Amino acid sequence: MTDSATLTAVDPATGAPGTSYPETSGEELEALLAAAAAAADDERFRGEARVAMLRSIADKLRDRVDEIVAVCTAETGLSEARLRGEVERTWRQVLLFADLIETGEHHEVIIETADPDYKPVPRPDLRRMTIPIGPVAVFAASNFPLAFSVAGGDTASALAAGCPVVCKAHPGHPGTSALVGSLIDEAVAEHDLPAGVFGLVQTASVQLATRLVCDDRIEAVGFTGSIAGGRAIFDAAARRARPIPVYAEMGSVNPVVVTAAAIRERGDAIADQLAGAVSQHAGQLCTKPGLVFVPKGADGDSLAQSLGERVSQSETAPMLGPRLLHGAEAAVSELESAGSERVQLLGRSAPAPEGALALPAAVFATDAAELRADPSLREERFGPITVVVRYADLEDLLATLHELEGQLTGTIQLADEGEDQDAARAIAEALIARVGRLVINGVPTGVVVSAAQFHGGPYPATTAPTTTSVGTLAIRRFLRPVLFQNAPEWLLPEPLRG
């Protein structure tokens, strides 16, 4: 895929190489970092122009949707419908941040005027607001080549916060990255903002990426990707002379619990939902259900069988690139090699077309006791793969959930009528203790961008369990509070006056 000077994507549908893009050199990275540091101190980037810039980025993404989708389809193998939707999600997300910063709410202003009677000592005039943390390194994801990539949530929230971004593009879609990056550059230039507001790094070099994380001019890192990648970046940042926050959104198996009553009430509908969530986009979603807990016995067997059949009938879709394909193949091999007394295959979609970087979608099954005994069964399998886990009773289920690591999501499928509410509460409590989002009667895929949204969770779901990478509160990651004590009006920033 990569030589010393260029990056070349592969068309996952055919395996054919696409256009080559030049890699960023060390000298170019240094120039981007210097420009970012200069932009952080530039008055022009602090004010109104930032709102207009974000709206221009949104306009450009919307206006160039055909071109973006064409370039991106050839690099990612994702469907046109999916990519059109993702472009819309991406520009709407940028607009949400523009709207937010126009209100000033992100400054989280608190004003306490002087109080001579305050106890135990008089209180001076205290005015708190947030300011940008400084230049941010964003590591783009492969699986959302738009919404979590160059103009994705990390970039949008950092720019909205007033932080210049140096974005390390994912080498899986260099053409999409170059195109979207050029649209951001255009918006920056049109609003007379310093060029260092945004910089794009195209590289497959771990060394260059590490240099970016460790550069003293970088004040925070946003990352979406694998546990291994996120942890390496976290470790590098923690070893800096001056450590900085790393907001890495990494892995999740997204447990789904289905009750017997729910299966009896609407088993087919649940199987439909789950099969879609497992197989759509070749299962390459950080919220794909990776473990589906069903009760032992006829109800659970029925759901497992339905899910296996539906996934068997799903379309075998290309994966994003050879590395993800090989990872998914290895995960399937591991499940197959466990032995049929431990892990059973319930269904598998048609073999991949010749040349395509595709893996048949597959449903396996095991018992809760096996999952408890073997930590490798509880690991994320990125791709169109899920494992049905049969539980004997509530106690067996809860004991097994208790063994799971931190997760982005947990889901419960409950009956609308006649459900055991105490049991449901116990399941919800067990999930909430280790997830960031609890979904009832749905699937965890599809993360709406809004003010309430929370996309995060305890490690290894993320390295920063108090923060979200989706939704407008994602901006908090890139703002730090400051307090003005007894400052005269003329010295106060505008949000703190009056």
Q: Give the active site residues.
A: 249, 286
- In degrees rounded to 5, what are phi and psi of residue 409? -140, 160
Give the chain as a 3 state SS string. CECCCEEEEECCCCCCEEEEEECCCHHHHHHHHHHHHHHHCCHHHCCCHHHHHHHHHHHHHHHCHHHHHHHHHHHHCCCHHHHHHHHHHHHHHHHHHHHHHHHCHHHCCEEECCECCCCCCCECCEEEEEEECCCEEEECCCCCCCCCCCCCHHHHHHHHHCCCEEEECCCCCHHHHHHHHHHHHHHHHHCCCCHHHEEEECCCCHHHHHHHHHCCCCCEEEEECCHHHHHHHHHHHHCCCCCCCEEEECCCCCEEEECHHHHHHHHHHHHHHHHHHHHHHHHCCCCCCCEEEEECCHHHHHHHHHHHHHHHCCCCCECCCHHHHHHHHHHHHHHHCCCCCCCEEEEECCCCCCCCCECCCEEEEEEHHHHHHCHHHHCCCCCCEEEEEEECCHHHHHHHHCCCCCEEEEEEECCCCCCCHHHHHHHHHHHHCCEEEEEECCCCCCCCCCCCCCCCCCCCCECCCCCCCCCHHHHHHHEEEEEEECCCHHHCCHHHCC
Nearer to its own copies, 179 or 475 (CB): 475
Q: What Cα–Cα distance (Å) separates residue 307 from each residue in 295, 304, 412?
A: 14, 5, 16
| Nearest approach, Cβ of residue 292 and its own copies (Å) | 17
Nearer to its own copies, 149 or 203 (CB): 149
Cα 262 from Cα 86, distance rounded (Å): 32
Residue corresponding to tokens 């399937």: 332
- Residue 350 makes CB contacts below 8 A (sequence gap 6+) with 316, 360
Cα 458 from Cα 469, distance rounded (Å): 13
Which of 276, 368, 285, 366 lies closest to 319 in space, CA to CA?
A: 285
367 torsion bin: left (phi>0), alpha (psi -120 to 50), beta (else): beta
| Nearest approach, Cβ of residue 218 and its own copies (Å) | 13
